Structure 1
Amino acid sequence: MSLFASLALAPALVLLQDPAAAPVAAPPTAAPQPLFSMWIDDMPGLMPSPKDAGLVAALAMMDGRLLDLMSELEDQMPPLPPQAIGVATKLMMGRKSLRVYPATDPNSPLPVFVQLELQQDSPQLAQQLAGSVMNLLTDMGMPLGDPRADGSRLVEMPDMPPIALQVSGPNFVVSLGGSTTAPGRPTLGALPSGVRPTMSMRLDIGEISEMFLGFMESQASTEEAEQMAMMFDAYGLQNLVMQIDSGADAERSYSVMSMPGYGATMRSMGMLAERGLTEADYAMVPTDAEWAQLSTINASGMLDYMLEMVAPMLEAEGIEDPLAILREETGFDLRTDIVDNLGSVMAMYTSRTTGGGGMLSTVATMELSNSQGMLATLNRLRGMIDQMAADEADGYVRVRGWEHDGTPLMTLTFPGLPIPLEATIAVTGTHLVAGMTPQATLGALAHMKSGGAGLLANAGFRSQLPGDPIGAMGAQFIDIPQLAGDSYGLASLVCSAIGNAMRSPSSTREPGLIMPSYTELMHGAKPMVMLARVVGDDLIEEGRADNSMLVNMAGLVGMVASSPIGLLVGAGMVGGVLGEARSSASSPYADWDTTEYDFEEWEESEWDEEEWEEADSLEDVVEEEPEPAEQPTGGGH
């Protein structure tokens, strides 16, 4: 049985125990540092807003609905003890902690041991849960051992470490391959005072990387193991630890992500810009932005870093200088023609100013250190694209060069074809500006030239700032109240689906109204803001958002729908549907077996249409097999 299968089984094992034989609390032992740990509050704690009360109540009905479903689908579902449903819903709805540690037993068949804690409100409730689990195990015929000296009981399975079950204070603990007593909630202690924690996570990527490299050394060739080690070192993974805390108060939700030492790693890799975000950078984004992402980069350092990363693979193919090959093939030098012309700050946003909001108002800007150099590069690229289009597309693709108020622009056009796309780039004295439409680009240019207020003048952005935005290496703003207006209907349909799923034709269970009215949901709703910065040697990102999950869900759905992400997702879905339709509808006889027959002979047969429609295969419409020389070799249509 795999580790993942064991983890999937562990919750079910938590459901069984004879109450009279419930294990007693084990004495505390020292806890090693886990490779991974996560603590999650119960469902009411994760959704403390009164706006989410209907959703919490509906989800609490899941055990009843599952029991009804077992009765409704009695002949179609495998038999499952009813008490398993209650335990499963307690696992989903309740407070819990999961930890993965390095194996302490060198003879263990697994390199790790896993510990799951279901945290109850009292030792008595933990004992009741343990009793339910033990009873369930017994009913399922699982080999449950007698209580041991530490109060635990073992479930023995072939070719697997034993699974230990025990009660420790208010916690019911399931351990695979080992056990330890650890704090109930791992935390950074980084949340503001008065904020109640809702989730904590710690991931030791460095230790996991070391374990993986050790496995590679034992299983792969020396060369492959060395290449993997070089890649991990290039990414700076050896000492990387990620820690996340989130919490909520009466108004907001809070998050803090920390990667100790990774700021120094980014600095040594040349990825950090020489400066942070300034007031002028925020001014490039209109005040009425629906969402915005600003970040600082060291373009030259990132290019060097990427070249260093791919160097071993390229050298294995005999490629020493990929930039030289690109220069010989295209005439462009990626470093001197593009990277050296870039500045330090890039941004992307949608706004009312640049097109009324939504996807087609999307604008991306990039600071330039040499605008004339970038303009010369773009003009050369324009000539190359036009030449390729003339040769390959018969002139149906063209880059139009034009000016507006002295600013040079270039627009991708499709002469003679009704294609609804005119992506446009402009070069100012300080920035490269790209829009989904010419109007979006012109709107961005007008805003930048006006000297008008930017994102810092947005009251929602300012109210949610977790710190000083000046000097940050990155900032993100999502106007949840604005975007939720465009997607409230879709979010309410999701809630209706949940409500109907909790109802049952065999009971009067009624979840009631899950989604509040639009006015109630949006009352006091807050935007989402995140700031990232390097503090000393650490990378830290802090965030603030509304404390209602329904508010944030509605806003984030609106953001995806109004961003290029939504366009890509939609294009992928449409492409998949069209591809399937094209495949299935390519012929009304697509399911016929044509392996042994010449397709041209089938097409030239003298059978009339009525006989074709009544035929089930080509055997009914072709009297004789074709000559061997003409017989097809494959089975395609």
Structure 2
Amino acid sequence: MWIRQAAAAAVSLVIVLLLSVAPASGRPPAQVDAVPAVVVHSSGLDRLLPDERDAALREILALLPARLGELPEQFDDDQEAAAVVRLLTILLTHPFELRLDRDEERTIGMHLWVDRAGNGDPRPLLDELVQAMTGSGPTWDDEGASEYGPAGDERITVRSLNAGRALLTMGPRPADVQITTALPAGIEPVWQVHLDGARFLRREIRDAGGVAGMLALAGVGVDMALGYDEHGSRLGVRVTNASRLQPILGPGQSLTQRDFEVIPADARFAKVAQFDGASMLAWVEQVRGRPLRVIDELSEVAGLDIRKELISQVGPVFATYRAEHLGGGGLMSTVMVGSLRDPARVRDALVEVAGVADKGLAQDSGGFVRVRRWQTEGRRYFSLVTPGIPFPLEVTMTIEDDRLIVGGTPWIVAGAAAQIREHRPSILDAPGIGARLRSAENLTGLLYVDTPATVNAAYGVANAMIAAGHNTVRSPETGRTPDTVPPTWTDFSRDVQPIVALARQQGDIMTIDATGDSSMLVNASALAYAAVSDLQTLLVPVPATVLPALGRARENARQLKAATQVRALVQAAIVYHQAQEQMPESMQVLVDNWFLTEDMLRSPLGPAGDLGPDFALFVDEAWPEEFSAELPVAIDRAAFLNGVDWIPVGFADAHVESLTHEDVSRLLRRHPRVATAFGLDLGEGQGEAAGGPWQRVEAMQSLRTMMMAYMMYAAENTDTFPPSREAVEPYLGPDSLADLSRVSLRWGVGRTAAITMPHRMALGVAVAEGQYVVAFADGHVEAMDHASYAELMKAPYNQDFVPDAR
């Protein structure tokens, strides 16, 4: 399946553009404007990667089409997706030009030219291209007719080598069209793209939303070109109607000197961009087609309007950087600095949000995740900490002057604040880049990678990239093996050039002028090393690494504590009997006589779903003198009723075992008097009264199974919950379906439009009058009374359960 996933983006675009051409056989291509809506031009692999340091990269790309041709058969994967990827790699390794347009009838006209560069008969490659575009092999007319194609297929017309109306040709390159190169005069483009989104993109693509849809709806045009000069590579980008993309590109205001002064002089990576919190949020919700309910829910919990008090206050400039004196220039050096419209307002809001977040995290994690609020030198800091867990980040934020600062550790953030407060030397004072920034006018953005200073790390990335490429193009069934090794350290690091991209915007036109090293391997390695500087990369490990571990640790800790309490209950009963020469009449007697505390009778896995006691004790007078080590005498009945995976059970010799529901059920059926004493008389299964323990446990297990199926459905269906139980049956095995059908309860489904608060999103059933069992999206199950259930249903992401038609 991994080919389909890797090719998803390519398939969605190329299939639409190449497989939906409309001219019938014998019909000339659509008449197009002088400049087609889409033009993609490549000068071929040798000119795209002219630097000798890229020899290994060239070889990998040259071998890639052959390897991709083998994958579908070896992995039984999607043939169509693999064909599209193969088509793209064929085009990458040959000089080609693709032109696409639409006429007044919305008919696509296409001209694809491929240069075989004297490599013999062009027909095999032509066959491959047509096969990739049509999904079936074409036929070649040996008589030399001007047209051929799959029989009866009118989607594509293929002309022979020199046909003037060719849609697909291997002949001479067509005449140039005048496209703005966005490169300085005198630099010939080796790769060029022109896109007029409003003229070309199909309605269905526009309606799909996302970046492509935004381009079409906004009428944005893009021209991009890559070339080389004596200093290295040059990339030029020109965007028309750029002001319509303000939510993405920002307000387009010129950056000030102060916007660059927040970045230290020894920055090894820096990115400065326009950013407006309110506009970005509005655009995200427009693309999603629905509001981000999580923001409204957080606002309700925090008691303030997060949109107004926080998000709308951020902007219009955000900077990200790594500085050598702050953490060595690596990942831990990452700092983000955002301008604020009302710093005092944001500071007050952060105090409120941090307090609420700390309480929630402490409760959910058992204290293993907290928000630390602290002050030093009159400045307030907020840090996400993990007490007792050696997680290598303390994501911290503070406000210095009118800038919000976020970093991976408190000392990094303190250093970034000092950069602003003490007006330390900045990137404007750095050799090379400083002069370019001071002399530039109307800058709206910057991307800077100090490749010479980070070349050591970049070389390691380059070796990993080449090794991965070599393994990719090798085949287990042939002797195909790449021979070219990556450049030596001496060659790789010789006279490397930094990456500098400067963005400007004047009116409706935005331009980007980027320079880099002449080796694309050097540039790609440096960018890959710098890519982890984004705030998202910094923050993602916190929930991704800590929270799953915390969930397991918290559950294990609760079960261990519950088992300890069961053991203490058994031991207290034995000691009481030795002291009083009789068994206690109840567990409360043990509390009244100081053998236990009240807290010892409250289970960490409770409260019990039937609102009865969390623990139970069997107090037959024959015990403990006449006992069997296999006799269960105490249990955490809350764990049993609430569907916990492992239930602590205490035995007459004071040992404790954690048993599954099935094991506990069998044990209690062997000892019916004990089951009655525990308040867990399981009866005869189906004959049991509604709301009884056995039915309750089955309901919990079934709900947990159903919730997992719902989450799998949502993951594959744009984060939406299914409308009914039938919709998730494909995600449930036959045994699961049987288990669900045996639960003779009225099923109900809580639905939501989007997964916004998964830890509180729930499915549930009523198991008795005023008693409910609820399964949550994180997999845990709770029993609750009517008041708690009604409160849960007030949340905007849950709704009253609707009876299942089945």
User: TM-score when scaled to structure 2?
Assistant: 0.55
Q: Matched residues in 2 for 1:232 and 1:141: separation?
A: 31
Q: Matched residues in 1 for 2:152 and 2:482: separation?
A: 44
In the other structure, the counterpart of 1:296 is 274
Q: Please point out which of 551, 573, 577 is paired with 2:522.
A: 551
* Letter of the structure 2 residue corresponding to residue 118 of structure 1: V
Change over 3 Å in CA distance of 1:539–1:168 after alignment to 2: farther
Q: Matched residues in 2 for 1:232 and 1:489: separation?
A: 35
Tell me the CA shift for residue 167 of structure 1. Answer: 2.1
Q: Please point out which of 589, 593, 600 is paired with 2:663.
A: 600
In the other structure, the counterpart of 1:377 is 349
Q: Please point out which of 315, 318, 321 is paired with 1:346.
A: 318
1:284 aligns with 2:255: no
Residue 735 of structure 2 aligns to a residue whose secondary structure is coil
In the other structure, the counterpart of 2:735 is 635
Q: Please point out which of 42, 47, 55 is paired with 2:49.
A: 47
Q: Matched residues in 2 for 1:411 and 1:374: separation?
A: 16
In the other structure, the counterpart of 1:620 is none
Q: Matched residues in 1 for 2:260 and 2:534: separation?
A: 20
Which deviates the most, 380-389 or 248-257? 380-389
In the other structure, the counterpart of 2:724 is none
Aligned residues of 1:295 and 1:474 also touching (Cα < 8 A): yes
In the other structure, the counterpart of 1:97 is 97
Tell me the CA shift for residue 450 of structure 1. Answer: 3.1
Q: Matched residues in 2 for 1:388 and 1:2: separation?
A: 42
In the other structure, the counterpart of 1:190 is 182
Aligned residues of 1:282 and 1:454 also touching (Cα < 8 A): yes
Which deviates the most, 423-432 or 184-193? 184-193
In the other structure, the counterpart of 2:803 is none
Tell me the CA shift for residue 89 of structure 1. Answer: 8.0
1:253 aligns with 2:233: yes
Partner deviation per Cα, 1:232-264 (whole Å, 9 max, x = no partner) = 99887242222211111233211122221222x
**Residues 156-555 of structure 1: matches in 2 within 5 Å?**
156-168=150-162, 174=168, 183-184=175-176, 187-209=179-201, 211-212=203-204, 237-263=217-243, 265-266=244-245, 272-273=250-251, 275-299=253-277, 302=280, 309=286, 313=290, 330-334=302-306, 336-339=308-311, 341-389=313-361, 391-462=363-434, 468-499=439-470, 512-555=483-526
Aligned residues of 1:118 and 1:173 also touching (Cα < 8 A): no
Tell me the CA shift for residue 574 of structure 1. Answer: 7.7
Q: Matched residues in 2 for 1:419 and 1:48: separation?
A: 44
Partner deviation per Cα, 1:586-605 (whole Å, 9 max, x = no partner) = x9xxxxxxxxx994389869
Q: Matched residues in 1 for 2:96 and 2:488: separation?
A: 32
**Residues 110-129 of structure 1: matches in 2 within 5 Å?**
111-121=107-117, 125=118, 128-129=121-122
Sequence identity (%): 23
Aligned residues of 1:271 and 1:301 also touching (Cα < 8 A): no
Which deviates the most, 498-507 or 52-61? 498-507
For the pair shown, the structure with the greater C-alpha radius of gyration is 2
User: TM-score when scaled to structure 1?
Assistant: 0.68
Aligned residues of 1:144 and 1:156 also touching (Cα < 8 A): no
* Letter of the structure 1 residue corresponding to residue 663 of structure 2: E
Tell me the CA shift for residue 494 of structure 1. Answer: 3.3
Aligned residues of 2:114 and 2:169 also touching (Cα < 8 A): no
* Letter of the structure 1 residue corresponding to residue 219 of structure 2: N
Tell me the CA shift for residue 635 of structure 1. Answer: 2.3
Gaps of 5+ in 2: 1-10, 21-27, 78-85, 553-644, 646-659, 669-683, 688-693, 703-733, 740-806
* Letter of the structure 2 residue corresponding to residue 129 of structure 1: P
Partner deviation per Cα, 1:367-407 (whole Å, 9 max, x = no partner) = 23333222222222233233434554554444333333332
Name the count of aligned residue pairs.
544
Tell me the CA shift for residue 576 of structure 1. Answer: 14
Q: Matched residues in 2 for 1:516 and 1:363: separation?
A: 33
Change over 3 Å in CA distance of 1:306–1:99 after alignment to 2: same
Residue 217 of structure 2 aligns to a residue whose secondary structure is coil
* Letter of the structure 2 residue corresponding to residue 49 of structure 1: D
Higher relative contact order (CA 8 A, sep 6+): 1
Q: Matched residues in 1 for 2:29 and 2:303: separation?
A: 72
Q: Matched residues in 1 for 2:364 and 2:239: separation?
A: 49
Q: Matched residues in 1 for 2:204 and 2:270: separation?
A: 38
Partner deviation per Cα, 1:30-89 (whole Å, 9 max, x = no partner) = 75653432112211101111222343356556789999x99xx99x99xxxxxxxx9998
- The root-mean-square deviation of aligned C-alpha atoms, in Å, is 5.4
Tell me the CA shift for residue 354 of structure 1. Answer: 1.9
Partner deviation per Cα, 1:330-381 (whole Å, 9 max, x = no partner) = 3213355235644532111122122112222111111233332222222222
Residue 190 of structure 2 aligns to a residue whose secondary structure is strand
